[in-house]
A = this chain, B = another copy of it.
Amino acid sequence: MTTKTGLTPSEISAEFSLEQTRRATVTGMENMLYQPIKILDHGFIRVIDYMGDDNAVVQAARVSYGKGTKKISEDRGLIRYLLRHKHTTPFEMCELKLHVKMPFFVARQWLRHRTASVNEYSARYSILAREFYIPEPKHIAKQSTLNRQGRASSFSPEETKSITDLLRSDAEQAYAHYQELLNENETGEVLNEGQDGLSRELARMNLTLNYYTEFYWKIDLHNLMHFIRLRADPHAQYEIRVYAEAMLDILKHWVPHTYQAFMDYHMEACTLSKQALSVVKSKLRGENVTQESTDMSPREWRELESLLE
């Protein structure tokens, strides 16, 4: 089990050891520490460490405001003010360290975010485990014809099964050949004595993109929210969205005021272009507005209509 969750010996002992600290401490996070939150079939997110809390955001903002802060006296109100007006720097003062495990094709999207620190498992150095992602049947979906990067409806149970079987057999064959190339099995035992294995840095190229990798990932609260905004978006691929949604839940335990403000001012907020704002104002004055009377493209017009229901 420690292998599957990646718990190192020092973490296991940490689970049972309590130290005293004068640092900002959040009970909800202490309870989460080191425990893997399971995601997809073999993935997880584990909180390894955190720095700061809602109050650390407030404290940093108050350094800027100096003695001039008496009026904005309420912490929750200050946090909401900061997020509403995009004063982002105080949110950089909190930091989160996660241990995450996900398929390669998810890791590739994930690591496009450049504002985090990363230490990833190296398949040049070590042998990858026999763990690959097979979507649950309900997530095996047809290509959308409206959105090139989207999914449409499901397949029949028979079609779904045949897709799943194909993905699984290819992944299994890839791993069998990976071992054959390495001349080693998953635990490093030599398969054919007296023969040599292909170098690990080459053999790994035979694996498919649904194999799992894992890394430590450290990011500040501002950049974490940016990541979540993009990856918990309904347009993000399901397989990364589930990780972003798990992070939203971590956020809720860690910095509850920031979480709520983030939902109100970012996740569930919207932007109105100059033209869209003008349309809304006209409508509120009771005027009749059509797409033709504006500078908006038909696509923008539809986006606005769907926003306003």
Contacts and interface: CB of A to CB of B under 8 A. Distances in A.
Nearest to A286: B286
Contact of A64 (B122, B144, B198, B281): B122
A209 B204 contact: yes
Residue among A80, A117, A150 with the highest chain B CB neighbour number at 10 A: A117
A125 B271 contact: no
Nearest to A197: B143
A112 B92 CA distance: 14
A17 B107 CA distance: 41
Given A268-B274, A270-B271, A308-B281, A93 B216 contact: yes
A145 to B, nearest CB: 9
A207 B181 CA distance: 18
B112 A118 contact: yes
Contact of A18 (B21, B90, B117, B299): B21
Interface in A191-236: 196-202, 204-210, 214-216, 218, 220
Nearest to A113: B114
A166 B170 contact: no
B265 A273 contact: yes
Contact of A95 (B95, B111, B263): B95
Nearest to A200: B143
B283 A309 contact: no
Given A199-B150, A204-B209, A281-B308, A20 B23 contact: no
Contact of A103 (B22, B68, B103, B205): B205
A149 B280 contact: no
A8 interface: yes
A213 to B, nearest CB: 9
B89 A93 contact: no
B125 A64 contact: yes
A33 interface: yes
Contacts of A108: 104, 107-108, 111
Contacts of A37: none
